[in-house]
Structure formats: structure tokens, C-alpha cells
Amino acid sequence: MATNAESAGSSHESEHRSGKGGRWSAGRIALVAVASLIVLFLLVQLLPFGRDHSSPPVTAEPAWPNLEAQVIARKACYDCHSNETNWPWYSNIVPISLWVSHDVDEARDALNFSEWDRSQPSIDEVRETLGEGSMPPGYYEFFHSAAKLTEEEQQQLLSALEQMWATDPPASTTGDAESGETGDTEG
């Protein structure tokens, strides 16, 4: 009887002790996890990826039909679609840097106002893309509120681009009219 009570008491005590020191509490595990993540985050900053923010040279620029449209394009498109990218501070932080530089690479491939001497998309593609309202991408607008174009600015930009493709087209255009008739071109 007495032994029972004794052993129960001592096991209780040892449980209590291990809870404090021996075993890790949830709070301690969380603390170590967070600390490890911070260390990992700092270490990963040393990786030599994504921070090569050199831009290729500007080889040929289009003649912008008017200054307003150029200003709109510069604030809303040029960070991605030109070789005159203003790299934001967060573009130096892994993994954002990887994402941003990948996006800029893709964007320059798709359309580059600094390389008018090479192939660019057709104005139909540009019209379509702008019409969808997918440019500039939402996350970019989040960081650059000025890049969020009003309906009016979009219209102004598009008509300038149409004029540009008509009067000073890129060296060549990709994506000729896809199958089917495209007689109706209402915006």
C-alpha cells in the first residue's frame, strides 16, 4: 500500500521534472523551429541566384507616338518589358529575387521595348493581353500602385501602341493571326 503510494508519488514527481527540463515543450520546439528558419533564411541569402540584376543593353527603341503613352508604359511596363528595369529592394531577397528575375526574363522574352530590332508580338496579341487586364500582373500593382492603370490610361496606351505598330513596327512580329477569320475588331 505504502509502496504503491510512494511509487505513484515519485513517478509523478519525475514526470514533472522531465516536463520542465528533459522533454521539450511545444513552445521550445516552436522557438527552435523559428530560429532554424531564420538561420536558413539568412544562409539562403548567400546563394548566388537571382541577384544578377544586370540588364542587357538597349539596342533599339520604338518611337513613342506621344509622351503621355510613354510615361504610362514606363511606369507600368518597363520594369519587366524593357532593359531599363528598376530593381526594387525586395528583388534582392531570396526567394523573391528568383521569382522576380524569372518574371523579368520571361517578360523580356515576350515583349521588349528596348530591343525593337528583334521579333516582338503582333499588335493583335498586345491588344488581347491588354484587353484581358492581366498586364501589369496583380502582384506588381500591389507593390507599385502607380502602375495600376485606369481605364483611360489603358486606352491611351493601347491606341499609342497601335499607332506604334503601324508607323514604327518592330523588326518582325510573332504570332500571326491564328486560325479563323478575324474580320471584326471591336474593342
Q: What does the binding site for ligand HEC look like in residue numbers (CB under 6 A)?
A: 76-77, 79-81, 103, 106-107, 110-111, 121, 125-126, 129-130, 135-137, 140
- Considering the complex, what minimum distance in angstroms separates the CB of residue 136 from ligand HEC? 4
- Considering the complex, what minimum distance in angstroms separates the CB of residue 130 from ligand HEC? 6
Alpha-carbon torsion (80, 85, 88, 90), positive or negative: positive
- Considering the complex, what minimum distance in angstroms separates the CB of residue 53 from ligand HEC? 14
- Considering the complex, what minimum distance in angstroms separates the CB of residue 26 from ligand HEC? 41
Cβ partners under 8 Å of residue 97, min gap 6? 49, 50, 51, 91
Nearer to ligand HEC, 140 or 165 (CB): 140
- Considering the complex, what minimum distance in angstroms separates the CB of residue 149 from ligand HEC? 6
Nearer to ligand HEC, 24 or 139 (CB): 139
Tally the C-alpha atoms within 13 A of residue 168's C-alpha that lie toward its C-beta. 14
- Considering the complex, what minimum distance in angstroms separates the CB of residue 76 from ligand HEC? 4
CB-CB contact of 120 with 164 (8 Å): no
Nearer to ligand HEC, 94 or 110 (CB): 110
Nearer to ligand HEC, 28 or 118 (CB): 118
User: Would you state the cell numbers that stand for residue 171, as one nine-digit string?
Assistant: 523588326
- Residue 75 burial by CB count (10 A; 0-12/13-18/19+): exposed, middle or buried? middle
> In which element (H, E) is residue 172 found?
strand 172-174
Nearer to ligand HEC, 116 or 140 (CB): 140
Angle between helices 123-132 and 151-167 (to 10 degrees): 170
The number of angstroms, rounded, from the C-alpha of 112 to the middle of its chain's C-alpha atoms is: 17
Nearer to ligand HEC, 19 or 137 (CB): 137
